[in-house]
Amino acid sequence: MGRFTRLGSMFFALAIAALSMSPTPAVAASDVNSLSVRLDWLPAGYHAPIWLAVEKGWFKKAGINVSIADGNGSATTVQLVGAGQYDVGWAALSNMAFAIGKGLPLISVAGIFRKGDLVLIVPKDSTIHSPKDLKGRRLVTTPGSLEAPFLDAFFALGGLTAKDINLVYVDASAKVSTYLTTNAEGVFTSDAFTLPVVNPKRPSRPLLFADFGLSVPGFGLFVSKPVLARKAEAVKKFASIVSGSWAYTFKGHEQEAVQAVIKNRPQARLDPTLVAAQLQASQQFLYTPATKDEPIGIQTDKDWDASIKALEEAKMIKSGSKPSDYYTNAYLEKSLLSNPGGG
């Protein structure tokens, strides 16, 4: 068994383990007009447009009842949705694609980060500028994380393997502190979440996987096919409103979105400055050359062809799949994409 295949199996096993150790999840809502939604992580700026739609009452106006739960990683969210414990997931679509390759009946109904935000964050004065500069470097990562399946492919871009890197494995909750308080020379993570967190204390810059040709999809909405069969209309309204809320947010309503997530998640004690920075950092991932003229949410075969190629090269999916195996635009309503409040 090759290293890529072993890594893929380890990633899937860790996801299953994380699922089993998670608190008892909410059972998917039974009413056809009700949706239970699982996010990827604790409240952050890149969740703000979702909470803005809640605060605006757009879901209720559309006749759907939406409950939203925080998450503890994209891999776990993918598994919970695939297991039928939640109706809709918000997570890295690269993790969803990997799970589809393992047999879970999932499909993406909206792509929000159509450019992937997987990143290696390094200090601004670092001599690391590309994967070929990573030999012997002390870099922080998490087993089973959203970047884990793609690390070997990233190293290979510089002619290296994981044996050439001094990888420091920590729990996801310890990534930032390890990077900030030790002699770690970089951290693998999500750009939109982490860069605004570390910059004030350790000025840093990103090395995006996508900028080196490793094009995998970022955050989006996905469902299981059985849920889609039962709740097609509710899913269509939800996916359309969330996508439209992202467009609305960046038409001068950023602070409104920031206040929405703070109001709806008071227990998180969010710093509005940090939330705003995370939201702003998200903007660069909303469009690709193939989607520059398409509303947020719409996905394209061209982008997914590139993602499939990257996933195949990383040995995370078998060869022979096609874009329609991973996404559909059939559940995006154009009127709500341009006017999520309707009317």
Q: What is the pLDDT along the chain (343 residues), one digit of tens a residue?
A: 344 344 444 445 544 444 444 444 456 777 999 999 999 999 999 999 999 999 999 999 999 999 999 998 898 999 999 999 999 999 999 999 999 999 999 999 999 999 999 999 999 999 999 999 999 999 999 987 878 888 998 999 999 999 999 999 999 889 999 999 999 999 999 999 999 999 999 999 999 999 998 888 999 999 999 999 999 999 999 999 999 999 999 999 999 999 999 999 999 999 999 999 999 999 999 999 999 999 999 999 999 999 999 888 878 899 999 999 999 999 999 999 999 998 6
* Tokens read off for 261: 């997530």
All domains of the chain, ordered by start, with CATH? 3-115+216-338 (3.40.190.10), 118-212 (3.40.190.10)
Per-residue pLDDT at 66: 98
Q: What is the DSSP string of 227-281?
A: HHHHSHHHHHHHHHHHHHHHHHHTTT-HHHHHHHHHHH-GGG---HHHHHHHHHH
Q: What is the pLDDT of residue 32?
A: 94
CA distance 248 to 336: 11
Q: If we measure between CA atoms, which residue out of 102, 89, 98, 97 comes closest to residue 28? A: 89
162 CB burial (10 A radius; 0-12, 13-18, 19+): middle
Residue 57 carries which side chain, given as an amino acid letter?
G
pTM of the model: 0.90
Q: In sequence order, what are the residues at sequence separation of 6 or more whose Cβ sits closer than 8 angstroms to the Cβ of residue 254? A: 276, 279, 280
**CA atoms of 138 and 182, how far apart (whole Å):** 10
Q: Residue 145: its pLDDT value, please? A: 80
The predicted structure's pLDDT at residue 25: 47
Say whether 85 sits in a helix, a strand or coil: coil
The residue with tokens 């757009």 is 58
Res 27: pLDDT: 65
Whole-number pLDDT of residue 315: 82
